[in-house]
Amino acid sequence: MHVPDTLKPAVAAFEAAASLLGAMTGHLARRVADGGRVSVDKLDEHQIDAYELAVALSRLQAARSIIAFAARRERPLHTRFAAAFVAEIVSDLAGVLTLRGDDWGISQADVHQHLESPATRAFVREALSGAAWEEMSRLVAEGGATDYGLDEDHELIRREFRRFAEDTVGPVAERVHKHDELIPGEIVAAVADLGCFGLSIPERFGGLQPDDRPDNLGMCVVTEELSRGSLGVAGSLITRPEILSKALLKGGTEEQRELWLPRLASGEVLAAVAVTEPDFGSDVAGMKVTATPRPDGWLLNGQKTWCTFAGYADVLMVLARSDPDPAAEHRGLSIFLAEKPRFEGHDFEHTQPGGGKITARAIDTLGYRGMHSFDVWFEDYHVPDTHVLGGLGGLGKGFYYQMEGFAGGRLQTAARACGVMQAAVDAAVGYARERKVFGKPIAAYQLSAWKLGRMAMLLQTARQFTYDVAALLDAHKGQVEASMVKLWASRIAEWVTREAMQLHGGMGYAEEYRVSRYFVDARVFSIFEGAEEVLALKVVARQVLQRWLDEGRAAS
């Protein structure tokens, strides 16, 4: 990668932070290792450190993306973004290690050498100065943040879906949110006509994805623009078919792919995902919903919760325990495709001809309205053998098929977070330029300039990180990075939308302005598709630490 001279101080500071975070990773890996493997019990004894490390490493990956973007697209604003983001990492890391270096096996001499040299101090001071934030805010206000770094084809896709979001989604978004309505049927039909449900489905099955290669970037671009219009009305519509289609492509039989994928791609069949249980959220190994074999199929029994879009969906992707032995843990789980009629209300009940029943009730939520999330109860609900994902050969593999879908779902969550953040930044910039306080626009004050500049910087960094992870998934890599970008983008979406609301003052708290919706919608990102704490501890930290142990063993 060519590094312009203007970026070299940021790159040097990044490399210094990366070196120390690498040492911190090794220190914690040795503390939680048992026979060359990460011990779950030992990791739990160091949850706070593991959590902090996971977040720090996710930020470091994000920094790598914004630096690469700034190097490709040499513009003053991009350079400012990269410098400020790296400077924040260095400043935060220096603070932690100055006070707690011994806890991480880092000496003060190492901290001084890497993070407190005269050059690094000068870089951080300048990058985080009031003048730097004011320049950044000015460039954002002048439209400098409109470069997404996309190729021509994806830029055309983005513009098309931005028009759709503004013309079709935006006009109904507030009504659906305020009255907790279901997504209007015309929105679902329009999304289907645009091919959105087939974004992750190969062309040979009626989707939009080329047969010879994945295109997760296209999915991210569309998701972001739909979410900018409304997370609940449009941005999340394609998440469930994304998860189910990837699971089918990973483990479905050819007959199942031929049956389900074309209908998912066209929108003829709408899907919901039933994984979470009241006592078991991200801890799928302990799940209790059972699938009991019968001569003509399987009977589902038990309760699922947070099953978004369950009412209107035609099929539920149910993760259930097909092996009654608790010792089987996640290896005893299978995926069942449970069909049902469509329902439009906040509750529903359906009884099969043989007596099996499914009932559900919508959960009241403070945001993310439009799709409705349900508690769902199965009572001897029949699913034929043909609807076991992967056929009988897929029994016990449901967890792995689910994870294939969830990697895409987590990437898509990052894209959804970018869309909501973009809407919030647009609203904040517009309001801050128009609203006058003490005789001048809000945007003219230094603190407001810092907020606006930082909001735009975090958004662009999250977007480029999302795009980079999309490329990794296209190459069948990046499982842990998909969790990293979901973890970090979800966290910052809350800050960005909060500050957008804060800049509106009292009007930000009023439902008259859309910015209040962005804030309550953003809160869900850190909870669904893998709760923040579970992602940090059980996925990011665990996998990164295990990777360090494996590499050390290979090197020796």
**What is the rounded CA–CA span in Å between residue 188 and residue 177?**
16
SS3 432: helix
Q: Which residues of 329-345 are buried (b: 16+ CB within 10 A; e: fewer)?
A: ebebbbbbbbbbeebee
Q: Distance between CA atoms of 346 and 375, rounded to whole angstroms?
A: 11
User: What are the CA-CA distances from residue 273 to residues 178, 237, 310, 412, 470 (Å)?
Assistant: 25, 12, 8, 15, 22
379 vs 495: CA distance, rounded Å: 42
- Axis-axis angle for helices 130-141, 446-474 (nearest 10): 70
Question: How far apart are alpha carbons 17 and 206 in whole angstroms?
Answer: 46
Please state, in angstroms and rounded to a whole number, the distance separating the CA atoms of residues 544 and 541: 5
Bridging pattern class, strands 271-274 and 297-308: unpaired
Bridge partners for 381 per DSSP = 300
**Alpha helix (H) residue ranges in 230-316:** 239-251, 254-266
To 5 degrees, how large is the angle CA 522–CA 164–CA 484? 35
CA geometry: angle at 343 spanning 338 and 345, to 5°?
Answer: 135
Query: Tokens 């991009």 label which residue?
Result: 78
Asked if 181 is an active-site residue, the reply is no
Q: Which two tokens stand for residue 441?
A: 């626009």
d(CA 223, CA 246) in angstroms, rounded, equals 16
The 3-state DSSP class for residue 341 equals: coil
Continuous H helices in 185-278: 185-193, 216-229, 239-251, 254-266
Give alpha helix (H) positions in 239-306. Answer: 239-251, 254-266
Q: Are 385 and 222 in contact (CB under 8 A)?
A: no
The residues near 251 (Cβ < 8 Å, ≥ 6 apart) are 335, 389, 390, 394, 397, 400, 401, 404
The length of the chain in residues reads 556
Q: What's the token pair of residue 53? A: 């490390």
How, if at all, do strands 373-383 and 297-308 pair? antiparallel
If DSSP states are collapsed to H, E and C, what string results for 432-453?
Answer: HHHCEECCEEHHHCHHHHHHHH
Q: Which of 224, 529, 532, 551 is catalytic?
A: 529
Question: Is the Cα torsion angle 97, 100, 104, 110 positive or negative in sign?
Answer: positive
Angle at 192 between CA 307 and CA 162, to 5 degrees: 95
Residues serving a catalytic function are 529
